[in-house]
Amino acid sequence: MIPVRLRGHQVFYGWWIVLASSIMTIVAIAIPTLSMTLFLNPLRNQFGWSRFAISGAISLRQIEGGITSPIAGWIFDNYGHRIIVPVGLAMAGIGFIALSRMQTLWQFYLFFAFMAIGSTMGGVNIYQAIIVNWFKQKRSLALGLLLTGGSVAAFLVPVIALLVDKLGWRATMFGVGLIILGIGIPMSLLLRRRPQDHGLQPDGLEPFRPTSLTDQGTSTGPSQNDLVVPGLTVAEALVTYSFWCMVIANVFNSLSSGMVFLHLAPALELNGFSTSSAASVVTIWFALTIPSRLILGWIGDKWAKKRLAVACYFLLSLGMFCLAFSTNYLMAMAFALFFGFGHGGIVLLNWALMADYMGPYRYGTISGLFRILSLVGGISGPVLAGALADKYGDYKIAFLIVAVGLLVVSTPAMAAIRKPVHVN
């Protein structure tokens, strides 16, 4: 139950949900994701595994995420978050603890898959669906603040790198698991599915007075089944032109993200960067997503989101071109600037555009399907980069392929989207 004092003019409860979701994103999503690039070389050194073998687990996570996302979205759309989020976070934490004890490659794949399934079930896709329900006029800003929480984790990358160096990768993985269990699960108790269930309206507007669809205006109380939520059904969304344009554009976004999250630090180290210098680039590029998400979150509620998204895809392309030639710190910083601002913006704008164009009615399921249909990039990115690096000795070809794709496929595809006229 939402405290009565939060129903007045003090603080709209939606902002507390944004805060709790941001904290969960930091500890349960961002830290585990960002830390994997720091574990790659220690795993190679200890076990002798190839980059391709380790990258395979990351690609399988993309497959798992794509399969699990629409299932998790459907569960949320129909039953809410109360079970799926805590259970998912528990699986993610236990999975990391299990990874800290692994001895073989098959254990790495098994424990990593268990962790990844939990991370998806209790992860950011559910948080964004909740926030879409709680905000309309300020939706971009709220989503931007949610994503900013994940970006804050970039400042912890040097700390994680230091822990890996001083304590070893096993102790560091064990600690990450404990953080997920100790912070993520308690924070999940603050979440609420949608404001109408508690006598509120999105953005904290006028109080909600529910009306039954079957009793011709007779008030029946805030029953979830009586709420009229605008938006498309899943079937309607899947036949819209814009949905598929966004999927096509996001394939290369997923491709670039998969490569960068896992292979950025190893790629820079191949070009002569020290581990600490490579970690600093990881920190800077991800930290730059913070102003991107705050600025575009604020602007996105006032200006055309589509134009901002097109600009973000162009910046991602520039960033990958710079990364392909990052043999010095200046080019690495150019990558961090362009890719950081572009990545921070496009993730936010994809979420906001999907909510604006498809509506909140079946947002959880639709956004989950959007992810699974973008899997081509997420699956192939880490493996493609690892395979090409093993063959040619560096990552230049892989990064250039993605840079061209972002420029000639993603940018025009996003420019072609238009809002369906039948979204209420």
Tens of pLDDT, residue by residue over 160-170, are 888 888 888 89
The residue ranking higher by pLDDT, 378 or 132, is 132
Residue among 161, 152, 47 at smallest CA distance from 99:
47
Residues in CB range of 72: below 8 A, 6 or more apart: 84, 88, 120, 121, 125, 126, 364, 368
76 close to 131: Cβ distance less than 8 angstroms: no
Q: What is the pLDDT of residues 40-55, one digit of tens each?
A: 888 888 888 887 788 7
Q: Which token pair is 122?
A: 């209790």
Does 224 have pLDDT greater than 60?
no
pLDDT band at 422 (very low <50, low <70, confident <90, very high): low
Cβ burial, residue 214 (10 Å; 0-12/13-18/19+): exposed
Percent of the chain at pLDDT > 90 equals 26
201 close to 207: Cβ distance less than 8 angstroms: yes
Residue 215 domain flag: no
How many Å apart are CA 377 and CA 40, to the nearest integer? 20
Does 83 have pLDDT greater than 60?
yes
Residue among 192, 121, 194 at smallest CA distance from 368:
121
Does 214 have pLDDT greater than 60?
no
CATH number at residue 117: 1.20.1250.20
pLDDT at 252: 92
The residue ranking higher by pLDDT, 176 or 276, is 176
pLDDT band at 324 (very low <50, low <70, confident <90, very high): very high
pLDDT at 232: 85
Residue 204 domain flag: no
Count Cβ atoms below 10 Å from residue 247 Cβ, excluding itself: 18
Which of 19-33, 91-105, 272-286 tops mean pLDDT? 91-105
Residue 74 domain flag: yes
Residue 420 domain flag: no
Residue 222 domain flag: no
Does 259 have pLDDT greater than 80?
yes
Residue 208 domain flag: no
Domain span holding position 356:
4-194+229-415
Residue among 131, 125, 23 at smallest CA distance from 64:
125
- Tell me which amino acid residue 246 is: M
Residue 205 domain flag: no
Count: domains in the chain: 1
Instruction: Supply the pTM of this predicted model.
Output: 0.71
How many Å apart are CA 89 and CA 27, to the nearest integer? 10
